[in-house]
Structure 1
């Protein structure tokens, strides 16, 4: 998985590969697929993967369950980045009153 790749695109590719393998007679169990997903995800998911690994048994986890958990995590990351961007933008834009006060100070000099 690439760093800039969206999780839904990644899972679509993974599903396609799995379906092609099945058509050729190769079946992957949920356990094997979950482990393959763990190994192939980008570093941005590492904190979530560690949490999942510590709290759940990977041998009983379904691909759909892992997918849902990772998609929720990805949405939360995007939301936090959006909030930070808005906060930084708001903090860096001066208001009109600040500009007027500076003009008044220069006029007094």
Structure 2
């Protein structure tokens, strides 16, 4: 299995190779095909490979059922990877700077004493 290859693409490639070999009168048992498929997994799939090896009889495990298991695992794994990727992106975002203004409450002062330019600057600052 190639790195970052979709499981559907791997299954298609595997089937093409097996069908080509069958064209040359090579015969494979179901157990042998399942074993070859499991051996071809990358490190990302080690947990599933070990689970299947330990819980299923590889010689009696139908290849189509293995395909279904792999596709289901891949779909669930993609969702998990997407969530992990989003969390990592959020963590890499630079911290946003915030401006804190000191508030004073002078009863004698009012905004009428400010020039239009100063008032525009204040409005722009508040909008940010």
Gaps of at least 5 residues in structure 1 are none
Runs of 4+ in 1 over 4 A off after TM superposition: 88-94
Deviates more, 1:10-19 or 1:81-90: 81-90
Q: Which has the larger radius of gyration?
A: 2
Gaps of 5+ in 2: 104-128
Task: For 1:38-49, list aligned pairs within 5 A.
Answer: 38-49=38-49
Change in CA separation of 1:46 and 1:89 when aligned onto 2, cut-off 3 Å: same
State how 1:1-109 maps to structure 2 within 5 Å.
1-89=1-89, 102-104=98-100, 107-108=101-102
Q: Give the TM-score taking structure 1 as reference length.
A: 0.80
Alignment length (residue pairs)? 102
TM-score with structure 2 setting the length: 0.69
**Greater RCO between the two (CA within 8 Å, min separation 6)?**
1
